[in-house]
């Protein structure tokens, strides 16, 4: 797999969109080490752990990569149907051309562990959340569904969307292919929704205290329902000054 390229993050109201991955950090220079800028969405401690890509609910989560010439963008996505991947809308946007990537330049690897993967598919088409505009405060619509050419979403690899946005205090998990661990699915498995708000279009925005940085955009905000898990939102942004970020709730998918 091609080596990702570095990118300068974009700020919106103190939040940094987790857009492009960079080369993997070594044990000496990752996270908060001296001489390396602190990554957005990571606080003084890092609770993320490596999770098993073959176990539920992580079986439905995969690495989403876009390629255009020498530009490589890496995000995270989740299977919500046999051929549908839920991710962040800004992950599909090419910053160089100021247009969305062609669907065929989008690749999804489910069950990817840095060496093996359970399945690979290429994009066919996508739908962006209504009202999403990168130039405005529309993060509540920063989600997209990507139709892929191969049905990877077997019954045990599909996650359903929650009935409603999770309330303040709800325990959640967020796991993705982060900038500092681009070949590994890592997750903060003990965090919460700390506030709810809305963007300028009135779309729901969830603020969480999960550790998630570049590359985790599009990752599912996982909420426990009985003995299983559902998607309570899509991770879309991270704060510059600690472990906190924003998630959109794709209510139009109900």
pLDDT digit string (tens) for 9-67?
A: 332 333 344 333 333 333 333 333 333 447 899 988 999 999 999 999 999 999 999 98
Considering the domain delimited by 40-53+160-253, tell me its CATH architecture. Beta Barrel (2.40)
Rounded Cα distance, 73 and 50, in Å: 22
Read off the pLDDT of residues 111-151 as tens digits, 9 standing for 90 and up: 999 999 999 999 999 999 999 999 899 999 999 999 999 99
Helix (H, G, I), strand (E, B) or coil at 91: helix
pLDDT-derived band at 108 (thresholds 50, 70, 90) equals: very high
pLDDT-derived band at 74 (thresholds 50, 70, 90) equals: very high
Does position 72 have pLDDT exceeding 70, yes or no? yes
Cα angle 118, 122, 213 (rounded to 5 degrees) comes to: 70
Q: Do domains 40-53+160-253 and 58-157 have the same CATH topology?
A: yes
Q: What is the CATH number of domain 58-157?
A: 2.40.10.10
pLDDT at position 252: 83
Mean residue pLDDT of the chain comes to 86
Percent of the chain beyond pLDDT 90?
76
Rg (CA), the chain: 16
pLDDT at position 27: 35
pLDDT at position 241: 81
Q: Compute φ and ψ for 73, nearest 5 degrees.
A: -115, 135
Does position 167 have pLDDT exceeding 50, yes or no? yes
What are the extents of the domains in the chain? Answer: 40-53+160-253, 58-157
Note whether 233 and 247 are within 8 A (CB).
yes
Does position 6 have pLDDT exceeding 60, yes or no? no
Residue-wise burial string across 76-115, b where 16 or more C-beta atoms lie within 10 A, e elsewhere: bbbbbbebbbbbbbbbbbbeeeeebbebebbbbbbbbbbe
Q: Compute φ and ψ for 92, nearest 5 degrees.
A: -95, 5
């Amino acid at each position: 797999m091609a080596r990702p390229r570095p990118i300068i993050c974009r700020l919106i109201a103190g939040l940094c969109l987790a857009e492009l991955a960079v080369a993997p950090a070594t044990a000496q220079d990752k996270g908060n080490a001296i001489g390396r800028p602190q990554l957005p969405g990571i606080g003084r401690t890092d609770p993320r752990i490596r999770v098993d890509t073959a176990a539920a609910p992580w079986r439905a989560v995969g690495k989403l990569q876009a390629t255009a010439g020498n530009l490589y963008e890496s995000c995270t996505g989740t299977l919500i149907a046999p051929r549908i991947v839920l991710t962040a809308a800004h992950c599909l946007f090419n910053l160089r051309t100021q247009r969305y990537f062609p669907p065929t330049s989008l690749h999804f690897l489910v069950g990817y562990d840095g060496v093996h993967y359970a399945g690979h598919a290429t994009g066919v088409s996508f739908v962006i959340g209504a009202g999403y505009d990168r130039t405005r405060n529309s993060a509540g619509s920063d989600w997209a569904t990507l139709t892929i050419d191969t049905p990877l979403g077997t019954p045990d690899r599909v996650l359903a969307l929650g009935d409603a946005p999770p309330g303040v205090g709800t325990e959640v998990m967020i796991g993705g292919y982060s900038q500092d661990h681009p070949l590994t699915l890592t997750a903060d498995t003990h965090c919460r929704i700390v506030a709810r708000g809305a963007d300028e279009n009135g779309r729901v925005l969830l603020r969480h205290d999960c550790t998630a940085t570049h590359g985790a955009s599009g990752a599912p905000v996982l909420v426990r329902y009985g003995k299983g898990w559902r998607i309570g939102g899509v991770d879309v942004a991270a704060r510059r000054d600690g472990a906190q970020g924003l998630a959109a709730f794709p209510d139009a998918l109900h």
